[in-house]
Amino acid sequence: MPAIDTNVLVRYLIADDRKQFETAKQFIEEAITNEALFIPVSVSVELEWVLRSLYEVKKAMIITTFNRLLEAREIEFQEESAIEIALSLYADNNADFADCLHIASAQTQGRVPLVTLDRKASRIEGAKLLV
């Protein structure tokens, strides 16, 4: 099962570079006919950041995009249950996706609370402000 990098996903999802879009599309379509694609957790974090920061994709669309990827049986996420929890936290809170994923990862491992010095992140259930 090949792993896929953020730039391949971005080119496929955004299609802002025709040649790279076609390359990414061909790879993805060929790969999923034979086996699933693997998305490392670090790629999930970077994908959200790139979509939000560089392409100014709205939070609701980012969540929809992730949910569609999660629903695709040809795609396997590292820490998939943590990604699902993080998306729920992200939807319900004014916090960064990365912070939501940190908390969700801690929760799925039974390691809560996540102690933090980040006041915004500490407002999420499962986190505790270290002050």
Annotated binding residues, written as ranges, equal 5, 99
- φ/ψ (deg, to 5) at 47: -60, -45
Distance CA 31, CA 29 (A): 6
Within 8 A by CB and 6+ apart from 31, the residues are 2, 37
Binding-site residue ranges for Mg(2+): 5, 99
Mapped onto helix, strand or coil, the DSSP state of residue 118 is: coil
Let me know: does 82 contact 108? Beta carbons within 8 Å. Answer: yes
CA 83 to chain centre: 6
